Amino acid sequence: MRILVSLLSGGLFSIGLIVSGMINPARVLGFLDVAGGAWDPVLAFVMGGALVPMAVAWRIRAARSHPVLGHGFPAAPGPVDGRLVLGGALFGAGWGLVGLCPGPALAGLTLGGWPVLVFVAAMLTGMAVHAFALPGGRPAGIAR
C-alpha cells in the first residue's frame, strides 16, 4: 500500500509540474530573470498553490501521532549551518544555468529529448559523487 501511495504521489507531482508549466525550463528561467524586463511571475503562483495543501497537512500532522500507513513522521529539521548555505548556493547556480531542478528534470525525462537526458545523467553523477566521494555522504533519511 505504501508503494502504491508513493507511485501515485510521484505521478500526481509530475502532473502538477506539467499543468503549471514548470516542466518547461524556459518558463522557470523567465521567473529567475528578474532583471530582464519581461519577468514571468508564474513560478510564484505555483509555489503559493503548493504551499496551501502542505500547510494544512502540517497542521493535521501536528494532531496525529503517526501517519495513516506509517510508523513515524519525519524528524524535526536540523540546524542552519554552512553546508546548508553552500549546498543551496551550488544548487542555485546549476538551476540558474539551465532552468531545471530535480523534479522537472525527472518529470521531463521521457519528453524533453537528449538535453534533459544529459542533464539528468550529470545530476545523478553529482549525487553519486556526494554519496561516495565526499565526507558526510550517505545520509540516513530523505532530505527535508
Partner 1 sequence: MLIEPDAMLAGLAGGLLIGLASAMLLLLNGRIAGISGIAGSVLAAPRGVESGERVAFLAGMIGVPAIWAAVAGAPEITITGSVPLLVAGGLLVGIGTRIGGGCTSGHGVCGLSRLSPRSLVATGAFMVVAALVTGTARHVIGG
* Helical packing angle, 82-98 and 25-32, nearest 10°: 120
Is residue 135 close enough to count as binding partner 1 by CB under 8 A? no
Question: Least distance to partner 1 from the beta carbon of 63, Å?
Answer: 11
Q: Which residues contact 97 (CB under 8 A, 6 or more apart)?
A: none
Using CB under 8 A as the binding rule, the residues of this chain from 78 to 97 that contact partner 1 are 78-80, 83-97
Size of the site for partner 1 (CB under 8 A): 123
DSSP 52-120: HHHHHHHHHHHT-SS-TT-S-PPPPP----HHHHHHHHHHHHHHHHHS--HHHHHHTTTTSHHHHHHHH
Residue at grid coordinates 499543468: 19
Task: Lay out the site mask for partner 1 across 10-49 (x = CB under 8 A, - = otherwise).
Answer: xxxxxxxxxxxxxxxxx--xx-xxxxx-xxxxxx-xxxxx
Question: Least distance to partner 1 from the beta carbon of 116, Å?
Answer: 6
Is residue 65 close enough to count as binding partner 1 by CB under 8 A? no
Question: Least distance to partner 1 from the beta carbon of 125, Å?
Answer: 6
Is residue 63 close enough to count as binding partner 1 by CB under 8 A? no
